[in-house]
């Protein structure tokens, strides 16, 4: 609740303060930031609440990196599975764990392979490439968004 209060203060209190007393805007934003931090940190148990932080920061990977225009939210979820497991995966395993159909997953894997984010090891088995890791870590590879639908550089 403290975190939500901090977010509410920044979104509503900031603009109102800017209209009424512009000199106090920084104070309001500072208090809001403290509320957010204390909402995600429990000083009594010295607990950083890492689960809550990860939900805020990593629940939607699109917020952290710029996806290419051809990418879908499903692509980030598929790439995340490879990164989290560091395994070679099949479309069936990915479909089972994400809730998407095997056909959808297979179609997206083919697209991701064309853009060099995953590589096919053998029929029906894929793994994340170094290029894909760079993308997931937020180091926007230069040409992730500069290829057309068939993977040919523009």
**H or E element in which residue 128 lies:** strand 125-128
**H or E element in which residue 121 lies:** strand 118-122
Q: Tell me phi and psi for residue 12, to 5 degrees.
A: -105, -45
Of the two residues 24 and 148, the one the predictor is more confident about is: 24
pLDDT tier for residue 4 given thresholds of 50, 70 and 90: confident
3 state SS for the chain: CHHHHHHHHHHHHHHHHHHHCHHHHHHHHHHHHHHHHHHCCECCCCECCHHHHHHHHHCCHHHCCCCCCCCCHHHHHHHHHHHHHCCCECHHHHHHHHCCCHHHHHHHHHHHHHCCCEEEEECCEEEECHHHHHHHCCCCCCCCCCECCCCCEC
Of the two residues 38 and 75, the one the predictor is more confident about is: 75
Chain centroid to Cα 60, Å, comes to 4
Mean pLDDT for 39-53 is: 62
Q: Tell me phi and psi for residue 25, to 5 degrees.
A: -60, -45
* pLDDT for residue 88: 94
Average pLDDT of every residue of the chain: 79
Would the pLDDT of 60 be above 90?
no
* pLDDT for residue 151: 45
Of the two residues 145 and 98, the one the predictor is more confident about is: 98
Other Cβ atoms closer than 10 A to 128: 25
pLDDT tier for residue 14 given thresholds of 50, 70 and 90: confident
pLDDT tier for residue 150 given thresholds of 50, 70 and 90: very low
Of the two residues 138 and 89, the one the predictor is more confident about is: 89
Specify the pTM: 0.54
């Amino acid at each position: 609740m403290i975190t939500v209060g901090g977010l509410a203060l920044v979104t509503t209190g900031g603009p109102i303060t800017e209209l009424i007393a512009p000199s106090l805007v920084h104070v309001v934003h500072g208090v809001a930031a403290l509320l957010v931090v204390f909402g995600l940190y429990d000083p009594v148990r010295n607990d950083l609440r890492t689960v809550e932080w990860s939900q805020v920061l990593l629940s939607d990977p699109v917020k952290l990196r710029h996806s290419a225009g051809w990418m879908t939210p499903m692509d980030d979820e598929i790439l995340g599975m490879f990164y989290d497991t560091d395994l070679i995966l099949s479309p069936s395993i990915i479909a089972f764990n994400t809730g998407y159909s095997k056909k959808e997953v297979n179609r997206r894997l083919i697209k991701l392979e064309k853009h060099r984010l995953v590589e096919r090891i053998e029929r029906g088995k894929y793994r994340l490439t170094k290029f894909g890791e760079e993308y997931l870590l937020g180091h926007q590879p230069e040409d992730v968004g500069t290829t057309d639908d068939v993977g040919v550089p523009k």
